[in-house]
Amino acid sequence: MSDNKQTHFGYRTIPTEEKVAAVARVFSSVASKYDLMNDLMSFGIHRLWKRTAIDLSGVRAGQTVLDLAGGTGDLAAKFSKIVGAKGQVVLADINSDMLAVGRDRLIDGGIIDGVEFVQANAENLPFADDRFDCVASAFGLRNVTDKDAALQEMYRVLKPGGRALVLEFSKPTTEMLNKAYDFYSFKILPKIGKHIANDEASYQYLAESIRMHPDQETLKQMLIDAGFVDVDYHNMTGGIVALHRGFKY
């Protein structure tokens, strides 16, 4: 039976129980062109955002890392090189199509040993308590229905002393940049999606989902509420993207 609860899917309001399937349709649709579209949409800057996340992760050789909602495996590939043969990286995503692209990409890149692929819902992770030294999520949290539950699960599976990283679109820090970003997101981005991925609607949703995501201070408080300490964030590209970091003690 329906629980009658509602949530947002972009700017639309839909029953909570329908969001997972709705988001799944979006990412199944864009999976094959996801990496190409990331490069086109961000002019390649997403690679620098992810590099900053890696640099601030503190991950070292021999550690265990969860790349949550990791999609096509950008972070997982980089973390794998850092943790080395004695470490482990788990690439987890709720969407089987995205996970398949990520698996193929890593295997094609010769990244086989020490990497595990798991289809998992961020709100209910199939991992033991205190397993990972680092849990990182890049551009995945905004698509989760219950973000608080996902943050609590990130906290649960972290080892004491471990850290969580959330790299996500956020709120531009100036009004001029915000207006320019709105124009690009709603007038240009869906058209790129239409011509390159033959999918205007999915990229309209992605633009809307960014606007519905909590801003920097709100997400910081959500991390604190989930139990994390020493929570901070780093704005990048004028706040278009923010990297939040918190620790489990």
**Confidence (pTM):** 0.86
- pLDDT for position 195: 79
Domain ranges of the chain: 24-173+205-247
**Fold adopted by 24-173+205-247:** Rossmann fold (3.40.50)
**Position 184: which residue type?**
Y
Helices 200-212, 16-30: axis angle to 10 degrees equals 130
105-125: pLDDT as tens digits: 999 999 988 999 999 999 999
69-91: pLDDT as tens digits: 998 899 999 999 999 999 999 99
- 148 Cβ neighbours under 8 A, 6+ residues apart: 222, 225, 226
**Two tokens, residue 24:** 């799944």
120-148: pLDDT as tens digits: 999 999 999 999 999 999 999 998 989 99
Tell me the C-alpha distance between 221 and 49, whole Å. 22
